[in-house]
Amino acid sequence: MRLGFILLLLFPLWTRAAMTIDISGGEQSRIPVAISPFAGAGDAYRVITDVVGADLARTGELKLVDISDLQPPLTESIDPRFSVARQRGAEAVVLGKVNPLSNGQIEVSFRLMDAIKQTQLAGYSYTANATQMRAIAHKIADVVYEKLIGTPGVFSSHIAYVIKHGKQYSLQVADADGQNVQTVLRSKEPIISPAWSPDGTKLAYVSFEKKKPVIYVQSLTTGQRRVLANFKGSNSAPSWSPDGSKLALVLTRDNSGSQIYVINADGSGLKRLTFGGGIDTEPDWSPSGQSLLFTSGRGGSPQIYMMPASGGMARRMTFQGNYNVSPAWSPDGKSFAYVQRTDGRFRIAVMDIASGQTQVLTQGGFDESPSFAANGKMIVYAARQNGHGVLALVSSDGKTKVHLSDVAGDLEEPAWGK
């Protein structure tokens, strides 16, 4: 039985979109936390309170306790009203202040309090430009999450994806909540398969601007880009080694189908890894650097295989169904997410590598392109909603699902970075 409910968070700055969170599995497992509206600047910086709350709620591991009716907002645990948060069930309380400085910068400070013991669990102060309030809110949420859950938060991380709007394709990078969108590349031709460098400073991707798939690497700091692979035939499916020195990729240059190769990040040292004549594609480099997961049609249907990153014997990993594709390692290397098709429906599943046990995480019909957050707790994927492409999140236990975005155009090919 599923104890589901839907929480709608409406953002004033976010006119087009509503984030839908669907949490199943019971309320008891979620830690109740109250966020007092950040005080000191009226409603001008309400975005901080909103973003911290949305970040924490989106995980499905924390539950927000509303104390926004306490006016003026709580800022001190010695305030006699502090007990209200506890009475409403909060186990932790976030108290925050916003202080505009004379130089135009904003100082934001917060303290995370144990609601029962009234002791401080964490406290930080940040100074930044007024345009960086969302970034600061994500940092605060990261601290609160790590203190309460014990795992680093990923709210300050970024997601790359492709948005298709009419005949226009854009490679974009957004914050982990889908906001603060930056366009990396605009093209009249398709773009697919963005892949983050391990240090989060570069994206490799496949662009069709030369009327064929060519792999580029682009710096996000300078915007400069270069061709990584433009061999005869198709060039696609880049995946970085965990040390960032190499990429696995798929080429057709040897006229023997789509095959997996490895190339140095500077474009030198091309080495072929697979030697079938059919389809080997979607390599994904393991966190340890030792192995590659990939999709192959060698058994008659697309299935996921694993092989040493130096090449050699491949081991078949998936056996259920006749369409299992797009493997994505979990950050701890113990499992992987992938897309499986059942009865014509594409859904996200995870496999525990040691046991071979699988779990289907999503129930959509067009769920594709899974990619893990760095802390392994959430998976971003591409879904379809109201006939167009959106980004969605699912927790790696399948209990929490979030539709991140509902903007004009089709969002596809998400990749979760640092």
Segment interacting with another protein, rule: CB under 8 A, options 118-126, 220-228, 249-257, 392-400: 249-257
- The strand ranges marked E within 166-320 are 168-175, 182-187, 191-196, 202-207, 214-219, 225-229, 235-240, 246-251, 259-264, 271-272, 280-285, 291-296, 303-308, 315-316
C-beta closer to another protein: residue 37 or 213: 213
DSSP state of 266: T
Binding pattern for the stretch 209-238 against another protein, x by CB under 8 A and - elsewhere: --xxx------------------xxx-xx-
CA distance 40 to 22: 33
Choices 52-60, 91-99, 278-286, 371-379 (CB under 8 A): range interacting with another protein: 278-286
- Taking the complex as a whole, how short is the minimal distance between the CB of residue 190 and another protein, in angstroms? 4
In this chain, which stretch among 66-74, 100-108, 318-326, 393-401 interacts with another protein, using CB under 8 A?
318-326
250 binds another protein (CB under 8 A): yes
Q: In this structure, what DSSP letter does residue 6 have?
A: E
Out of 261, 402, 413, 414, name the contact with another protein by CB under 8 A. Answer: 413
Cβ–Cβ < 8 Å for 370, 396: no
Minimum distance from CB of 345 to another protein (Å)? 11
- DSSP character at residue 209: T
- Please report whether residue 372 would count as binding another protein according to CB under 8 A: no
| Interface stretch with another protein, choices 39-47, 72-80, 86-94, 272-280 (CB under 8 A) | 272-280
Residue 60: exposed, middle, or buried by beta-carbon count in 10 A (0-12, 13-18, 19+)?
buried
> Cβ of residue 252: shortest distance to another protein, in angstroms?
5
Dihedral of the alpha carbons of 285, 286, 291, 295, in degrees to the nearest 10: -60
Member of 73, 257, 376, 389 binding another protein (CB under 8 A): 257
What is the spatial distance between Cα 191 and Cα 174, in angstroms, rounded to a whole number?
Answer: 17
Rule CB under 8 A: which of 181-200 touch another protein?
190, 192-193
User: Binding segment for another protein among 81-89, 170-178, 248-256, 268-276 (CB under 8 A)?
Assistant: 248-256
Alpha-carbon gap, residue 93 to 120, rounded angstroms = 10
How many whole angstroms from its chain centre is CA 193?
14
326 binding another protein? (CB under 8 A): yes
Whole-angstrom CA distances from 283 to 232, 293, 338, 339 are 20, 6, 12, 14
Nearer to another protein, 62 or 339 (CB): 339
Asked if residues 180 and 402 have their Cβ atoms less than 8 Å apart, the reply is no
Member of 298, 341, 388, 418 binding another protein (CB under 8 A): 341
Site for another protein in 351-370 (CB under 8 A): 368-369
**Interface residue list for another protein (CB under 8 A):** 190, 192-193, 208, 211-213, 232-234, 236-237, 250, 252, 255, 257-258, 278-282, 295, 297, 302, 323, 325-326, 339, 341, 346, 368-369, 412-413
